[in-house]
Every structure is written in C-alpha cells, then in structure tokens.
Structure 1
Amino acid sequence: MKHLFLTAVAAASLVLPVYAGEPAPIPSPGEIAATAPASDWIAIAPSDLLVMDLAPDAKGKARRVVIQLMPAPFSQGWIGNIRKLAAAHWWDGTSVNRVQDNYVVQWGDATEKKPLPAGLATVSESEYVAAPSASMLDTLHANRKRKEQVVKQWRASQPFAIYTPDTRKKVDAYSDIQGFVSGWPIAGGSEIWPVHCYGAVGVGRNLSPDTGSGAELYTVIGHAPRHLDRNIALIGRVISGIEHLSSLPRGTEALGFYKSEAERVPIASIRIASELPAVEQPRFEYLSTESDSFARYADARANRRDPFFITPAGGADICNIPVPVRPVAAK
C-alpha cells in the first residue's frame, strides 16, 4: 500500500500546478541526465558493442543483451580475444551455465571441450591494472576541479535551500583514488584499474597464473564485489538487457552452477554489433563524464535532495554513480 500511495503522490505531482512563490522542485539525478544537452552525450561505436542473443524465453520473447567493451588502456589483450571469438561465432550454441544469487551470471562452453579459435593471446596478470598516463591523471584532476566549480555555481543559482554536504574526506575502502575517465569508473593510486560495479563484465579463469582467454565471461548481478578488482580482468559492462540475466533461476549446485543441461539457457549468437546488418545494429550513447551535466548528476547521486529523501548521504561509492547510457533511434 505504501508503494501505491507513493505512486499516486508522484503521479499527482505531475499534474498539479506550481503556484507563484512555491519553491522549484529539486531535480533528481535522472532528471539532470534527461535534460542534459545533446552535446554532452557521446555515441558508442557499434564496433565497441558486443550483442548477445539468448534463446527466446518461455513465452517466445526475444532476449538481447548488449555489452559495451572497455577502451584502452584496460584489458585490451582479452578484448582482442573476444573480438576473435565473436568473429568466429564461437559462442553460438553455448549457454548460460551459472547464476549465483547476489553475485554473478556466467556463460560459455559448459563442457569446456569446444576448440577455441586459433591465435588467441595469453594475457599476463600484469594487465589487470594499467599505469595512469599524464593525460588520464590530468583528466581526473580536471574532472574533480570542474565538478567543484560547476556544483558550487549550480547550487548558488537554485531558488531552493540546498543541503551542504559534509566536507570531510570520503575514503574509498579499496583504493586511494576513484573517478571517471572516458565514461568509465576507475580506481587506483600509483596504478589504476576498472571496478566491479553492477553490470560489469569480466573474464572467467582458473587458478593463477591462468588469466582466462575471454571465452568464459560473467556479469555482476549483485552488490559490487570490489574485492575482485585486480584479480580478474574486466572487459566491459552490460548497457542493455541485464534483466534477461539477473532474473534467471539461481543455480542449485556449488557457486550457482546449473545441475543439468536442461537448466542452462542457450545462447543463439554473440556478435560485434558492427558485423550485424546496419538496420539491426543497436545504437547507444553515454553522458560524457567530462561534462558539466555529469558533474551535477554525480553531485545529485551523492547528495539526494529530491522529495523522497530525508537525509542526504553526503557521499557515494563510485558504483552508486552509474554512468547514464541511453538508446539512440536509428536515422
């Protein structure tokens, strides 16, 4: 009943007039992203999208999952392998084999006997991290400075009282620094690495020194398992269709593996989007993490002031600031 009441209140707020003298509504993070100018959005190249089509569900409905591959300098050896695997149609006929509650969904060849394409690279554990370039550090520093300036100016321009967050330093339990570069959340210090947020896609592996080829992949469907950072290669993130994975029945065997072949979810195909016919290529864009809109959005995620919230948190873990991604209509 509480949810119905809140829904009714929210609906009513859309139609009631705003009278002169009333304080303007405080925008939510989603509203800030939705009103960002077109110039603040960056198109994702089809060549950087991995399209996974699962077998239709029990009602015959198509199930498509779209993964954005990570840019350099991260995980490029594994991503090169993944491009070769997709070009060889290697995943066609494989399956989703593991669904562990509040953790991951994993897919690949359940038999572990399917031959891999020739020419796959063996990637070193050293590639789990990257050395930050001067330009990347400059970007992180500039983003932080710009956010402070943008947010200060934005708060001063608003016709309503704005919560002033706690200015004490917020410490990330897993790294010395955290931030965004080219649309991706990263953490680190003297070295940097991508982080395991919800929807992050990584490479399954056996015990060290094995690092996985990229043939076995997983995505996070629970609380961000940041302890996996620097221990497994991250190669991308699900940007569409995560519900087709997160809603699957949980496996009953150890680590959430399915017990029988009948429980596994068949994979019809996995392709790089640029290999599909132009009319079938999914198109997406993300909100530039170097934009003023993102600075306001990130501040709003850390300090919720919209009507539902009573006490703004005064900070946010990097995984609680998901980079907005939206589909783009074909031209």
Structure 2
Amino acid sequence: MRQPSRHILSATLAACMLALAGCATPGAPVALETRSTQQLLEASTDADWRTPDPANLLYMDLDGGRVVIELAPAFAPEHVANIRTLARGGFWDGLSLYRSQDNFVVQFGDITEEGVPGRPIGSARASLPAEFDRAAADLAFHALPDADGWAARVGFVDGFPAARDDRRGNGRAWLAHCYGTLGAGRDMAPDSSNGTELYVVTGQSPRQLDRNITTVGRVLQGMELLSVLPRGTGPLGFYEDPSLRTPIRRIRLASDVPVGERTPLQVLRTDTPLFDAVVESRRNRRDDWYVQPAGHIDLCNISVPVRTPPSS
C-alpha cells in the first residue's frame, strides 16, 4: 500500500506534466497552484464531457420533478435489458416509492400484500441470473491510487464508481454501492431479482452490499428529490401509512421521449487528465479554509460532475 505522501506526490507530478497545476524543477520543493474544482471545470473543453446514450437513461417523473438515472449495461446486461422492457411497458407508472430508510436507501416498485398478485410484467422476464460482478478484462477501468477497505482496487468505468479484484487471478469488477447507486432488490436467493423492485442509495455508502446485490446504474440528476423523502417508521423504513408513499407519475427511457421533452445532460468523462486533476483537487483541498490536506479520498466521496450542455 502506498503511503499518503506518495499519493500526493504522484498526483502532483501527473498534474504538473499536464500543466494543470504549478510545477517545480526536479529536486526542488513542489509549489502547487491553488486551483479549485470549479476552476478546473471552467477550464474544461467539450472533449472532457460525454453525452449519455438515451437508451441507457431512465426518467422517473415525480410530482416534485424528474430523477435522471443512467443504466450500466456493461455490468448488468440482463437486468438492464429487463428494466428497459419494464419501462417501455409502463410497469412503474402510477406505483410509488414505498420505503425510505434513514441513512440507507429509498425503494420503489410494486408493493403488495402477501398473497395478492402483483402488477403484470408484460414481456419482461420474471427470472434473471444474479449479476453481482463481471469479468474485468474488457472494461476500461480508470483506477485511483487510493487504498480501499472493500476491494483491492477502485476507480471508475465510464463514469460509474467501480471496484476490482485481481488477487485470485479471476479479474472481477463490480459497481460500488456509493451514494446514488441504483440496485435491484432481491429475496434470499441470489438470483431472485428481476429489476421490478429497485432502490437508490441515499445514505452512507453501504459497501458491504457490494457483490451481494445486482447494481444496475446511478442517479445523475434529482437526488435531492429522493434524499429528502420522509423516513418510513416501519421496519427497514417501509411506510406504515400508505398515504406517505411518494407516487411515481411514470418512468420512461429517454430514447422513448420526444427530443424536446428530454433533459439535456453531459457527464464529465472519468478517463481524462482533467478528471484526475479534479479528483486531486478534492483529495487535497488547498483553499484557504483547509489547514491540513487529507492526502486520501474515498471512492464514494468522488462525485462525477454533471452539467447542462453549454449550447442548451
């Protein structure tokens, strides 16, 4: 494991080579230019941003606004395919967010009493294999230098916080349970999820769930609509009073929404020198308020910036 001082030096040298921070001559003390995350983003170019595929975006429309979710077919292809089918069939339209557990998750789907048939799922599949992790060989894994308590390596894959384990030679990778992660609820059997019951992490990152539940995406915009929901008073945060549930107007794929009704968004690419500099600006805060740089950052403390395209 690298020591924190080496984390700082490595990131600093990389930033120097890329002219994203002040540099010193070899052997001399390193003098860093104070450059905030906002300043780095303001200096970004169009090449530093990507536009998500509308076929991988879910729009959850609530009375309070829209939650935009990016799906991750590279990690859970069968679940994502089923979620697309469910969305096209209007499965969640008129259902609700029926659980809000403090410092944990909100959950939505078709909650019914025991013995009462649930809503038909149309042409979607009722049973799917567990997709807790996948082979890492063909993923563009952009690793962080920071140590992690839950995995041998952590970093990002196409904007998604991810973890990787090569220690046993099997090269497996998975989406991490960070704030905003979307997962597929399951029962006791590992293969008991099919995407009809979904949850979003709204509390401290429950990384103990990694590789135990299929994770299928993350929220890009609208987390404030989920994180402020009143907490359920029943066990595990379920609402005992059905009137407290938050109704879902509808959930659609962005690709099925007329272009004029879509939410224009761009996401900062996580495989660029600029992103490395943004992470370093959060790892070691150098603005005047901070007395001591941390020298470390947790994977789930890195929020990937999202913006409205400048031309919109």
TM-score grouping bracket, smaller chain normalisation: 0.7 to 0.9
Aligned to 1:159: none
Describe the SS at the equivalent of 1:243. Answer: helix
Contact 1:103-1:220 at 8 Å conserved across structures: yes
CA distance in 2, matches of 1:198, 1:119: 28
Q: Which residue of 1 aligns with 2:303?
A: 322
Deviation of residue 207 (structure 1)? Answer: 0.9
Question: Aligned partner of 2:51: which letter?
Answer: A
Match of residue 79 from structure 1: 80
Q: Post-superposition shift, 1:109?
A: 1.0
- Partner of 1:283 in structure 2? 264
1:114 equivalent to 2:96? Answer no
2:106 — aligned with what?
A: 105
Shift of 1:24: 9.7
TM-score (norm 1): 0.78
Are the aligned partners of 1:205 and 1:211 in contact in 2 as well (CA < 8 Å)? yes
CA apart distance, 1:218: 0.7
Write the mapping of 1:151-166 to structure 2, written as runs, cut at 5 A: none
Shift of 1:184: 1.7
Contact 2:71 2:216 in 1 (8 A): yes
On the 8 A contact 2:82/2:194 being kept in 1, the answer is yes
Partner residue in 1 for 2:213: 232
In the other structure, the counterpart of 1:96 is 97
Structure 1 unaligned segments of length 5 or more: list them: 1-22, 57-61, 148-168
Q: Distance in 2 between matches of 1:260 and 1:313?
A: 44
Given that residues 190 and 212 in structure 2 are in contact (C-alpha distance below 8 angstroms), is that contact kept between their aligned partners in structure 1? no
Distance in 2 (alpha carbons) for counterparts of 1:223 and 1:33:
26
- Could you say which residue in structure 2 is the equivalent of 1:17? none
* Structure 2 CA distance for aligned equivalents of residues 25 and 132 of structure 1: 37
Which residue number in structure 2 is paired with residue 43 of structure 1?
A: 51
Equivalent-residue separation in structure 2 for 1:329 and 1:293 (angstroms): 18
**CA distance in 2: counterparts of 1:233 and 1:123, whole angstroms:** 10
Which stretches of structure 1, 4 residues or longer, exceed 3 Å deviation after superposition? none
Matched, 1:187 2:163: yes
For 1:122-176, what per-residue CA distance to the aligned partner results, in whole angstroms no more than 9, with x for missing partners? Answer: 3222x2111111x53xx44xx55xx9xxxxxxxxxxxxxxxxxxxxx84311010
1:261 aligns with 2:242: yes
- Aligned letter for 2:125? L
CA 1:211–1:309: 2 relative to 1, 3 Å: farther
What stretches of structure 2 of length at least 5 have no aligned partner?
Answer: 1-30, 166-170
How far the C-alpha of 1:182 sits from its partner, in A, is 1.7
C-alpha separation in 2, matches of 1:120 and 1:109 = 16
Give the counterpart of 1:67 among 66, 69, 77: 69
Count the aligned residue pairs.
273
Structure 1 position 330, deviation (Å):
6.8
- Residue 7 of structure 1 corresponds to which residue in structure 2? none
Give the helix-richer structure, 1 or 2: 1
Deviation at 1:118? 2.5
Which amino acid is the alignment partner of residue 47 of structure 1? A
Q: Counterparts of 1:46 and 1:170 in 2: how far apart (Å)?
A: 33
- Name the structure, 1 or 2, with higher relative contact order (CA <8 Å, separation 6+): 1
The answer (yes or no) to whether the contact 2:86–2:124 under 8 Å persists in 1 is no
1:217 to 162, 176, 198: 198
Alignment check: 8 A CA contact 1:32 1:293 kept: yes
Question: 126, 132, 145: which one pairs with 1:128?
Answer: 132
Preserved CA contact (<8 Å) 2:59 2:66: yes
Deviations 1:98-135 (A, max 9, x none): 0011100101112162122234163222x2111111x5
Q: Secondary structure at the match of 2:296?
A: coil
CA-to-partner distance for each residue in 1:56-113, whole Å, 9 max, x for gaps? 2xxxxx42111011141x0111111100000000101100100011100101112162
